[in-house]
Structure 1
Amino acid sequence: MRLVAALTAATLLATAGVASAAPARQGAVQEIIDQLTTSGGALGIQARINGRDTVRSGVAELGSRKPVPHNGTFRVGSVTKPFVSTVVLQLAGEGKLELDAPVSHHLPGLVDDRITVRQLLQHTSGLYNYTDALPLDPAGFPSIRFKTWTPQELLAVSTSKPLDFEPGTRWNYSNTNYVVAGLLVEKITGRPFQQAVEQRILKPLRLTDTVLPRNSVEVPGPHAHGYYPDASGKPVDVTRLSPSWGWAAGEMISTTRDLDTFLTALLAGKLLKPVQQKELTKTSAVSPDYGLGLAVASLPCGTTVYGHDGQIHGYGTMMVGTPNGKRLELSLTEAADGASPGDGYSRLLNHVFC
């Protein structure tokens, strides 16, 4: 479930009077995540609230009593995207690219000449989402679980299809946009996109537990295991997998502490120049809930929140915050029973921010 959808659900819940208006308390958050691990489809959860309070629930492995580690590492999926968009915006601030210029100025012939850099970051390019064509379902995933994909292969899946719509006329979440953004970073910086993220964000912020694994199948450090059903519905431990099919759209591994540090710095304007900081959260008529790598929404209590969520086999992640310092980072390991977190995400958002 994308953050935009979770925020919409949070609005409905608050209108119905379900959400608490009290300040976030560790005990109340504990109650919510305990419900998620007992009936919401999660095997284990760790959450960090306002950079200080950390709570956890469930177990780290099926069939064990081992608790979810405090500040354990996990695959963050699409939470990779704000890191990539930040690098692109930094390059814009340095005068090395223009947001409203065609991508073809730097990567001729790669995508439709009308597609701009802004449209990539805001998911308004019309590029077909390549992951819709990959066998990521329970029946097909075993065949590609350890396959190494190149970004060119991923892009070819997309460009073999027509555009979903004319560039700039609609919004549609497409992982292809961030594969192209990763290639753009590589072209301009002359280095792998992972190295650009490491040099520009991870090292300056000392995010020592965050890694861009490239082709490694391992999750380093203490971590909970993630599960995904096979074709018969039996849960399979898929902690070890090749994240190359996500590449710049979703390969990263991190911790709640590192995500909190990153989001705090990003929303405080410490990573971008003022002009690009405004562009980061600027929405449009065709993209009212998504800026340039961040979802944007106003909760019923009047609080505007910014963030992203992500999902990859076995793991789900949410990273949400406000410029005034309220923040929530959550990692969920899946129990492989096909259940959904339901209203749990929405209840957490309303409790922490309203």
Structure 2
Amino acid sequence: MRESLRTITDSAAGQDRPKLRKAIEEIVEAGFAGAQLRVHDERGEWVGSAGVRKLGEPAKPPTNGRFRIGSTTKTFTATVVLRLVAEGTLGLDAPADDYLPEYGLDRRITVRMLLQHTSGVFNFVGEVYDDGTFAPGIPAIDKEWVDNQFHTYQDEELVRLALSKPARFAPGTDWSYSNTNYVLAKLLIEKATGHRYAEELRRLILRPLGLSGTTVPGASPEVPEPHAHGYYQYQDAGQWKTVDATRQNPSVLSAAGDLISTTEDLHTFFSALMSGKLLPAPLLAEMRTPHPQSGDYRYGLGLFVEETDRGGTILHHNGGLWGWAALMYGTPDGGRTLTGSLTFGDAELDLAAMAGALEQAKRRLVKEVFCGGRAGSADGAADPTQPTG
């Protein structure tokens, strides 16, 4: 019954918001298998989907479907850390080594630096340096990833691999997006509280907000029903191949990108966070203050901060991983949000083309929801949320 009601809402709302309908249809035309979108604004709630739930089948993606949210997870993790700071369990400017002495972290790395990506710690999925050279980490692209799609990684394994590599820079002197920071954040949450990360996430966010569609999968490859299917395209011996990436072991990203959620849960979470229901005002202000070294990315503590050409501000943290992309945007008061999921299909797109298509999709939607459909508004910098975070 719930799904039939969603379908009716989608159909009726689609007549009222033709530009939103057109935007998600254009996303599918650009090469995505499917898209689901939820918008909350002064006109109320709009939900819709386009494309297909599964390649070869006619059904559309469910508008209440669950999906992998990738690096959008980082905002949840940062919020848990800041809630523990508010409780006095963690010190925001305390050395992370105080909580995790077994890893021999540079004593200059603080909890804050982990959340804002200024620690300098190597990204365990690999690093692209300014001169274009690539330092590999765990298997993260092409056939290497496919062959390891169901491998279970331990948090300690990911961190120790990263720490075995040279730091990108001295702590606090620069900015570089690194999934390792958020695996370390998970470990210090667990060390400081004596509880599993999932328990603290449920205690501090999921239960208070009633986010029943959000789960921490651990090493389980399953996505709870209902859900669409995401696909990964790669080249092997010069030939394009497609694998169904719906089932994959998300332990490779841990608390940097493993959560499963819904557009409704992401709306509820982000609206509550932005409106001050989860954090004290001083800590929310810290979260929304970009670090100067993050440049055009304008990254705070688990959040990107973007200025529109109409003088407004939007905050966001999108996510992307093998076969999936997630969208989470909102205004500072939480009154307007855009949350969504995109699934990749069998279009023959390399990583650069895939990232470009995703960026164009985000721009279309942000322009329509936050900038009144005006071109050139709120495009901002692209998130460094590649298919591995």
TM-score w.r.t. length of structure 2: 0.82
**Which residue in the other structure is 2:153 paired with?**
149
Partner SS state of residue 342, structure 2:
strand
**Which residue in the other structure is 2:241 paired with?**
234
Taking a change above 3 Å as real, the CA distance of residues 69 and 176 of structure 1, as seen in their structure-2 partners, is: same
Q: Indicate yes or no: 2:80 matched with 1:87.
A: yes
**Which residue in the other structure is 1:304 paired with?**
313
After superposition, give the CA deviation of every residue in 1:41-83 in whole Å (9 maximum; x if it has no partner).
2100001011710111100111110111011000000111111
Q: Indicate yes or no: 2:211 matched with 1:211.
A: no
**Which residue in the other structure is 1:138 paired with?**
142
Structure 1 residue corresponding to 2:58, chosen from 61, 65, 71: 65
- 8 Å CA contact 1:210, 1:258 repeated in 2: yes
- 8 Å CA contact 1:68, 1:224 repeated in 2: yes
**Which residue in the other structure is 1:252 paired with?**
259
Alignment of 1:242-281 (within 5 A): 242-281=249-288
After superposition, give the CA deviation of every residue in 1:184-221 in whole Å (9 maximum; x if it has no partner).
10011111111110111001100001100011110002
**Aligned equivalents of 1:109 and 1:257: distance in 2?**
39
Shift of 1:342: 4.6
Q: Indicate yes or no: 2:190 matched with 1:186.
A: yes
Letter in 2 for 1:353: F
Q: Indicate yes or no: 2:38 matched with 1:48.
A: yes
Structure 2 residue corresponding to 1:353, chosen from 370, 375, 379: 370
**Aligned equivalents of 1:189 and 1:144: distance in 2?**
32
**Which residue in the other structure is 2:337 paired with?**
327
**Which residue in the other structure is 1:294 paired with?**
303
**Which residue in the other structure is 1:124 paired with?**
118
Q: Indicate yes or no: 2:44 matched with 1:27.
A: no
**Aligned equivalents of 1:344 and 1:316: distance in 2?**
11
Letter in 2 for 1:59: V
**Which residue in the other structure is 1:20 paired with?**
none
The total of aligned residue pairs comes to: 329
**Aligned equivalents of 2:158 and 2:100: distance in 1?**
16
Letter in 2 for 1:249: A
**CA RMSD of superposed structures (Å):** 1.3
Letter in 2 for 1:118: R
**Which residue in the other structure is 1:8 paired with?**
none
Shift of 1:155: 0.5
**Aligned equivalents of 2:33 and 2:195: distance in 1?**
38
Higher deviation after alignment, 193-202 or 248-257: 193-202
Partner SS state of residue 143, structure 2:
coil
Shift of 1:143: 2.0
Unaligned runs of 5+ in 2: 1-15, 127-136, 372-389
Higher deviation after alignment, 79-88 or 139-148: 139-148
- 8 Å CA contact 1:149, 1:244 repeated in 2: yes
Letter in 1 for 2:336: K
- 8 Å CA contact 1:296, 1:305 repeated in 2: yes
Return structure 1 stretches of 4+ with deviation > 4 angstroms: none
Structure 1 residue corresponding to 2:174, chosen from 170, 177, 200: 170
TM-score w.r.t. length of structure 1: 0.90
Shift of 1:287: 2.8
Q: Indicate yes or no: 2:103 matched with 1:114.
A: no
